[in-house]
Structure 1
Amino acid sequence: MKKIGFLSFGHWSPSPHSQTRSAADALLQSIDLAVAAEELGADGAYFRVHHFARQLASPFPLLAAAGAKTSRIEIGTAVIDMRYENPLYMAEDAGAADLIAGGRLQLGISRGSPEQVIDGWRYFGFRPAEGETDSDMARHSAEILLDVLRGEGFARPNPRPMFPNPPGLLRLEPHSEGLRDRIWWGAGSNATAVWAAEKGMNLQSSTLKDDEDGRPFHVQQAEQIRKYREAWKAAGHAREPRISVSRSIFALTDDRDRAYFGHGNQEDDQVGFIDEKTRAIFGRSYAAEPGLLVKQLAQDEGIAEADTLLLTVPNQLGVEYNAHVIEAILTQVAPALGWR
Structure 2
Amino acid sequence: MKKIGFLSFGHWSPSPQSGTRSAADVLLQSIDLAVAAEEVGADGAYFRVHHFAQQLSSPFPLLAAVGARTKRIEIGTGVIDMRYENPFYMIEDAGSADLISGGRLQLGISRGSPEQVIDGWRHFGYAPAEGETDQDMARDHALTFLNLLDGKGFAKPNPRPMFPNPPGLLRLEPHSAGLKDRIWWGAASDATAEWAATLGMNLQSSTLKVDESGEPLHIQQAKQIRKYRAAWKEAGHSRAPRVSVSRSIFALMNDTDRMYFGTGRPEQDQIGQIDNFRAVFGRSYAAEPDKLIDQLRQDEAIAEADTLLLTVPNQLGVDYNAHVIEAILKHVAPGLGWR
- TM range, smaller chain: over 0.9
Q: Which residue is 2:337 aligned to?
A: 338
Are residue 159 (structure 1) and residue 159 (structure 2) matched? yes
Q: Which residue is 2:70 aligned to?
A: 70
Q: List aligned pairs for 1:176-191, cutoff 5 A.
A: 176-191=176-191
Please give the secondary structure, in 2, of the residue aligned with 1:4: strand
Post-superposition Cα deviations, 1:119-174, rounded to whole Å, max 9, x if no partner, equal 00000000000000000000110011011011111111111111110001111100
Distance 1:99 1:5 in 2: 21
Are residue 327 (structure 1) and residue 322 (structure 2) matched? no
Deviation of the 1:332 alpha carbon: 0.1
Are residue 129 (structure 1) and residue 104 (structure 2) matched? no
Deviation of the 1:264 alpha carbon: 4.2
| Unpaired segments ≥5 residues, structure 2 | none
Q: Which residue is 1:145 aligned to?
A: 145
Are residue 54 (structure 1) and residue 54 (structure 2) matched? yes
Q: Which residue is 1:223 aligned to?
A: 223
Counting aligned pairs with the same residue, the percent is 80
Distance 2:4 2:275 in 1: 31
* Residue identity matched to 2:35: V
Distance 1:27 1:266 in 2: 30
Q: Assess, with a 3 A threshold, how the Cα gap between structure 1 residues 47 and 29 changes in structure 2: closer, same or farther.
A: same
* Residue identity matched to 1:203: L
Please give the secondary structure, in 2, of the residue aligned with 1:68: helix
Are residue 98 (structure 1) and residue 106 (structure 2) matched? no
Q: Which residue is 1:299 aligned to?
A: 298
* Residue identity matched to 1:324: H
Q: TM-score, normalised by structure 2?
A: 0.99
Are residue 8 (structure 1) and residue 8 (structure 2) matched? yes
Equivalent pairs counted in the alignment come to: 339
Matched-pair contact (CA < 8 Å) for 1:264–1:287: no
Deviation of the 1:338 alpha carbon: 1.2
Q: Which residue is 2:200 aligned to?
A: 200
Post-superposition Cα deviations, 1:9-56, rounded to whole Å, max 9, x if no partner, equal 000000000010000000000000000000001000000000000000
Distance 2:88 2:292 in 1: 44
Please give the secondary structure, in 1, of the residue aligned with 2:92: helix
Distance 2:265 2:292 in 1: 16
Q: List aligned pairs for 1:191-270, cutoff 5 A.
A: 191-270=191-270
* Residue identity matched to 1:93: D
Q: Which residue is 1:281 aligned to?
A: 280
Q: Compute the RMSD of aligned alpha carbons.
A: 0.5
Distance 1:296 1:151 in 2: 45
* Residue identity matched to 1:73: I
Deviation of the 1:265 alpha carbon: 2.2
| Unpaired segments ≥5 residues, structure 1 | none
* Residue identity matched to 1:302: A
* Residue identity matched to 2:232: W
Distance 1:193 1:155 in 2: 32
Deviation of the 1:333 alpha carbon: 0.1
